[in-house]
Amino acid sequence: MSGTTSAVQSRTVGVLVAGQVLQGLGQGATLAMGAVIANEIAGASLSGAAATASTLGAAVASIPLARFAQRLGRRPALALGAALGALGSVITVVATGLAFFPLLLVGFALLGVGTAVGLQARFAATDNAEPERRGRDLSLVVWSTTIGAVAGPNLFGPGVLIQDALGLPPLTGSFVIALAAQLAATALYLIALRPDPLTLARNRPVELAPADAGIVRGRATLFFAVGSIAASHAVMVAIMSMTPVHLTTHGATLVIVGFTISLHVAGMFALSPVFGWASDRWGRMPLILFGQALLAAAVVLVGVGSEDHVAVVVALILLGLGWSAATVSGSALVSDLVTGEARLKVQGRTDTIMSLAGALGGGLAGPVLALVGYSGLAWVAGVLVVVVVVWALAVSRRPALLP
- DSSP three-state, residue 270: coil
Q: What gap in Å lies between CA 124 and CA 72, rounded to an integer?
A: 14
How far are the Cα atoms of 31, 123, 316, 341 from residue 236, in angstroms, in the given order?
12, 21, 9, 31
- Considering the four listed CATH numbers 1.20.1250.20, 2.170.120.20, 3.40.50.1970, 3.30.360.10, the one that applies to the domain covering 3-202+213-396 is 1.20.1250.20
Mean pLDDT is lowest, of 206-220, 292-306, 316-330, for 206-220
Does pTM surpass 0.95? no
Q: Span 100-121, mean pLDDT?
A: 88
Pick the closest to residue 300 from 371, 386, 368 (CA basis).
386
Amino acid at 364: L
Mean pLDDT of the chain: 84
Share of the chain above pLDDT 90, in %: 32
Amino acid at 165: A
Q: pLDDT per residue over 58-70, tens digit each?
A: 888 888 998 898 8
Q: pLDDT per residue over 169-211, tens digit each?
A: 888 888 888 898 899 999 999 999 989 888 888 776 544 433 3
Q: pLDDT per residue over 333-376, tens digit each?
A: 988 888 766 778 888 889 889 988 988 887 788 889 889 999 99
Do the beta carbons of residue 94 and residue 103 sit within 8 Å?
yes
pLDDT of residue 400: 45
In the chain, where the domains are located: 3-202+213-396
Mean pLDDT is lowest, of 110-119, 276-285, 309-318, for 110-119
Q: pLDDT per residue over 221-275, tens digit each?
A: 899 999 999 999 999 989 988 888 888 887 777 777 777 877 887 888 888 889 9
Bridge partners for 338 per DSSP:
215
Q: What gap in Å lies between CA 370 and CA 183, rounded to an integer?
A: 38
User: What are the residues whose beta carbons fall under 8 Å from the beta carbon of 97, sequence distance 6 or more?
Assistant: 168, 169, 172
| Secondary structure (DSSP) of 294-347 | HHHHHHHHHHHHTT-HHHHHHHHHHHHHHHHHHHHHHHHHHHHHB-THHHHHHH
User: What are the residues whose beta carbons fall under 8 Å from the beta carbon of 273, sequence distance 6 or more?
Assistant: 136, 139, 140, 143
Query: Does residue 32 or residue 335 have the better pLDDT?
Result: 335
pLDDT of residue 74: 92
